[in-house]
């Protein structure tokens, strides 16, 4: 993965090597990337966020160059690893920004350790079941045609295009492995932890949930219901954005996050 001058280090956590990058200066902020981490890591959103914070950016197990131990099978497992990483780094009571899968992991961490985060800003997180057993809260991105999935994920489908022929071979391999890991961790139960919603009242840090207005994978109705399960959480939308407003509308997303964190 191209780091554009930002050196990654490896930390051994629970016997596994995690790729961890620090960017920027100032007070530390944990940044938990989405399943699109190979796309996000060098995005304008991350670059601008690093101008105001010292970012701690771990690649989740199975993503980037991080190991994927056999015993890690869900975001619940991942949360314990990232909690141990913060403990090893001596970090506590810090803000977190989490997107999609990363947002789900952030909430799993918050219910386990109520003092780990000072503020929680999430962008289109997965993680809970809102409707009944036969209600499809989240579209099945694994069985639909890729063009249909792209139309559900993105307001501007052109944003989803990748020139794999121009990418270094290592980056293509990382991209493919990220998809594999995402499927492994979120396939069953599909995109949620049945216990997370029940435990969300344990979240006691101020929380902001942002949602792309055009997200067809998990709609704004899902996002609003999700936020209502978190005590005192604020819910706001981002116009002209799908599931990844941090990529499609980085300036608008950053403005809302920075206002919340200030």
Note the pLDDT of residue 262: 93
H/E element holding 172?
helix 169-186
The residues with which 30 forms a beta bridge, in sequence order, are 56, 96
Summarize the chain as % helix, strand, coil (round to 5). Answer: 40, 20, 40
H/E element holding 31?
strand 28-32
Q: Are 209 and 237 in contact (CB under 8 A)?
A: no
DSSP 40: H
Helix (DSSP H) and strand (DSSP E) numbers for the chain: 10, 8
For the whole model, what pTM was predicted? 0.95
Closest to 103 in 3D by CA, of 203, 252, 221, 231: 203
Question: 161-196 burial, b for 16+ CB within 10 Å, e for fewer?
Answer: eeeeeebeeeeeebbebbeebbeebbeeeebbbeeb
Surface-to-core class of residue 52, CB atoms within 10 Å of its CB (0-12 exposed, 13-18 middle, 19+ buried): middle
Closest to 117 in 3D by CA, of 92, 87, 97: 92
Question: 57-78 burial, b for 16+ CB within 10 Å, e for fewer?
Answer: bbbbbbbbebbbbeebebbbbb
Q: Specify the CATH architecture of the domain 8-261.
A: 3-Layer(aba) Sandwich (3.40)
* Domain boundaries, given as residue ranges, for the chain: 8-261
DSSP 74: S
Residues in contact with 219: Cβ distance below 8 Å, sequence separation at least 6, in sequence order: none
In degrees, to the nearest 5, what angle opens at C-alpha 137 toward C-alphas 238 and 38?
55
Note the pLDDT of residue 87: 97
Note the pLDDT of residue 4: 42
- In whole angstroms, how far apart are CA 73 and each of 37, 82, 122, 214? 19, 14, 22, 30
3-state secondary structure of 55: strand
Closest to 20 in 3D by CA, of 29, 30, 8, 12: 8
Pairing of strands 8-13, 16-23: antiparallel
- In tens digits, the chain (262 residues) has pLDDT values of 434 445 689 999 999 999 999 999 999 999 999 999 988 999 999 999 999 999 999 999 999 999 999 999 999 999 999 999 999 999 999 999 999 999 999 999 999 999 999 999 999 999 999 999 889 999 999 999 999 999 999 999 998 888 889 989 999 999 999 999 999 999 999 999 999 999 999 999 999 999 999 999 999 999 999 999 999 999 999 999 999 999 999 999 999 999 999 9
């Amino acid at each position: 993965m191209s780091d554009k001058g930002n050196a990654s280090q490896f930390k051994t956590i629970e016997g596994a090597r995690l790729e961890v990058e620090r960017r920027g200066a100032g007070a530390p902020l944990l940044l938990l990337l989405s399943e699109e981490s190979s796309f996000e890591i060098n995005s304008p959103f991350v670059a601008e966020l690093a101008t105001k914070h010292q970012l701690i950016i771990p690649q989740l197990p199975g993503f980037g160059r991080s190991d994927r131990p056999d015993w890690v099978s869900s975001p619940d497992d991942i949360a314990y690893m990232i909690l141990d990483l913060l403990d090893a780094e001596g970090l506590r009571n810090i803000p977190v920004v989490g997107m999609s899968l990363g947002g789900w992991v952030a909430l799993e961490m918050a219910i386990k350790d109520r003092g780990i985060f000072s503020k929680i800003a999430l962008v289109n997180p997965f993680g809970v079941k809102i409707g009944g057993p036969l209600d499809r809260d989240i579209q099945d991105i694994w069985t639909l045609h890729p063009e249909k999935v792209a139309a559900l994920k993105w307001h501007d489908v052109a944003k989803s295009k990748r020139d794999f022929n121009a990418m270094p071979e290592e980056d293509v391999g990382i991209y493919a492995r990220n998809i594999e890991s995402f499927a492994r961790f979120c396939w069953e139960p599909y995109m949620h932890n049945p216990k997370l919603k029940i435990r969300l009242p344990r979240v006691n840090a101020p929380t902001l949930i942002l949602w792309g207005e055009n997200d067809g994978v998990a709609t704004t109705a899902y996002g609003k219901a999700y936020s209502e399960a978190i005590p005192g959480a604020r819910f706001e939308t981002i116009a002209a954005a799908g599931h990844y407003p941090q990529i499609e509308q980085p300036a608008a997303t950053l403005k809302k996050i920075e206002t919340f964190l200030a």
